[in-house]
């Protein structure tokens, strides 16, 4: 187990030589992404952060950026507006980053929510929560992989359900878009996104040994994320507000602790051996080794092997998921 005191101690060692110099946050306009940016900027290190968000977050994002600037004048935060649920726009944002940077040290992905309402598609015909939780995230990974490979110790962190929500035996490989009648729902969408995240990141990690990949489950963090999935003012939204949200409030990590835990995920050599030096026993990747690869990190920052799930996934599902992913992304790549 990684103790919180050790996490905080590790984060105090973040400086100009250990911080990710160029970081891209997709989902950093709110919640865990935003908390992690705050924690990173508060280290005082010289970092350049690309903050990606949709038009409706523009004003909020600029208030946040001013706050960051006063916390740490060495931090440069660049806003790129993009409707990231759309693959066309995700690609356009990546093109902007590629035109400005030669390498990227950190790609931090947190967009998404569990849908408690009816199935809803983006203008590109992809169910929106699958796009935010998986397809758009993979578009960012694939587009920025050449720049990540150019970095000395690059890292991709996808925050969703690593080690906890993968269910390769429950997903229907013939319906990875959740289109069949009765197949759609909040748990199915989250489980499928998490399973596909792990499968694809596991595959990409094998092809990119210089990049550290992490799929994490954040535990409960009171970000208002649960509210996003309900139709406003529906009876379900009221039930969630009355019962679920107080429960989340009671059992959540504090904002500060969540930010520190995700900063550790983004910087510590505990994962893969590169980053802020880690003196204790190192975490292990999905092959059980303390070296680069894919790490499934639970809410306490421990690495879970999830060996049973991983072997079923690799044997039966990864190739089908990869094929489907390529079919969905190809028109936009």
Instruction: Give helix 318-329 / helix 136-150 axis angle, nearest 10°.
Output: 90
Query: What DSSP element (H or E) covers 49?
Result: strand 48-53
Residue 258 beta carbon to ligand NAP: minimum distance, rounded to whole angstroms: 8
Residue 56 beta carbon to ligand NAP: minimum distance, rounded to whole angstroms: 6
Q: How many CA atoms lie within 13 A of 144 on its CB side?
A: 33
Output 151 or 303, the one with its CB closest to ligand NAP: 303
Residue 79 beta carbon to ligand NAP: minimum distance, rounded to whole angstroms: 12
Q: Which residue has the tokens 């595959």?
A: 203
Query: What DSSP element (H or E) covers 156?
Result: strand 154-159
Output 54 or 324, the one with its CB closest to ligand NAP: 54
DSSP string of 255-284, one letter each residue: HHHHHHHHHHHHHBTTTTT-SB---SPPP-
Contact 328, 126 (CB under 8 A): yes
Output 18 or 195, the one with its CB closest to ligand NAP: 195
Output 15 or 56, the one with its CB closest to ligand NAP: 56
| Chain residues that interact with ligand NAP, rule: CB under 6 A | 27, 29-33, 53-54, 56-57, 84-85, 110-114, 128, 132-133, 159-160, 218, 220-221, 223-225, 228
Distance CA 277, CA 51 (A): 27
Length of the chain, in residues:
333
Sheet hosting strand 294-297, strand order edge to edge = 76-81, 48-53, 22-26, 106-109, 154-159, 211-216, 294-297
Output 3 or 60, the one with its CB closest to ligand NAP: 60
Contact 58, 81 (CB under 8 A): yes
Contact 82, 93 (CB under 8 A): yes
Output 300 or 314, the one with its CB closest to ligand NAP: 300
If we measure between CA atoms, which residue out of 130, 136, 138, 145 comes closest to residue 193? 130
Residue 25 beta carbon to ligand NAP: minimum distance, rounded to whole angstroms: 8
Output 11 or 197, the one with its CB closest to ligand NAP: 197
Residue 140 beta carbon to ligand NAP: minimum distance, rounded to whole angstroms: 12
If we measure between CA atoms, which residue out of 155, 163, 226, 220 comes closest to residue 195? 163
Output 86 or 276, the one with its CB closest to ligand NAP: 86
Q: Which residues contact 168 (CB under 8 A, 6 or more apart)?
A: 195, 199, 309, 312, 313, 316, 317
Q: Which residue's Cβ lies closest to ligand NAP?
A: 31
Residue 153 beta carbon to ligand NAP: minimum distance, rounded to whole angstroms: 24
Output 20 or 27, the one with its CB closest to ligand NAP: 27
Residue 40 beta carbon to ligand NAP: minimum distance, rounded to whole angstroms: 15
Beta-carbon neighbour count of residue 317 at 10 Å? 20
Residue 237 beta carbon to ligand NAP: minimum distance, rounded to whole angstroms: 15
Residue 81 beta carbon to ligand NAP: minimum distance, rounded to whole angstroms: 10
Distance CA 28, CA 31 (A): 7
């Amino acid at each position: 187990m990684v103790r919180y005191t050790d996490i905080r101690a590790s984060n105090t060692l973040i400086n100009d030589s250990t911080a990710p110099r160029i970081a891209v946050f997709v989902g950093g306009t709110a919640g865990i992404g935003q908390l992690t940016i705050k924690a990173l900027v508060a280290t005082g290190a010289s970092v350049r952060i690309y903050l990606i968000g949709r038009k409706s977050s523009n004003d909020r994002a600029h208030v946040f950026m001013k706050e960051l600037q006063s916390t740490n004048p060495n931090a440069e935060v660049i806003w790129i507006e993009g409707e990231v649920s759309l693959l066309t726009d995700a690609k356009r944002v990546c093109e902007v980053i590629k035109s400005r940077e030669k390498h990227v040290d950190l790609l931090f992905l947190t967009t998404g929510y569990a849908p408690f309402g009816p199935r809803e598609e983006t203008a590109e015909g992809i169910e929106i929560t699958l796009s935010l939780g998986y397809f758009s995230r993979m578009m960012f990974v694939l587009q920025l992989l050449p720049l990540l490979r150019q970095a000395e110790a690059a890292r991709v962190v996808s925050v969703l359900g690593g080690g906890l929500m993968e269910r390769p035996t429950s997903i229907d490989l013939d319906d990875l878009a959740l289109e069949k009648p009765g197949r759609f729902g909040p748990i199915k969408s989250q489980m499928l996104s998490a399973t596909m995240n792990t499968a694809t990141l596991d595959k990409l990690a094998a092809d990119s040994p210089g990049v550290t990949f992490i799929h994490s489950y954040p535990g409960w963090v009171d970000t208002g994320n649960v509210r996003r999935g309900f139709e406003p003012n529906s009876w379900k939204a009221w039930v969630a507000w009355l019962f679920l949200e107080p429960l989340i409030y009671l059992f959540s990590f504090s904002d500060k602790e969540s930010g520190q835990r995700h900063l550790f995920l983004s910087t510590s050599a505990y994962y893969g051996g590169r980053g802020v030096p880690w003196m204790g026993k190192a975490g292990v990747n999905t092959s059980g080794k303390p070296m680069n690869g894919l790490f499934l990190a639970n809410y306490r920052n421990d690495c879970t092997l999830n060996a049973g799930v991983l072997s079923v996934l690799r044997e039966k599902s990864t190739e089908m998921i990869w094929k489907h992913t390529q079919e969905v992304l190809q028109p936009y790549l």
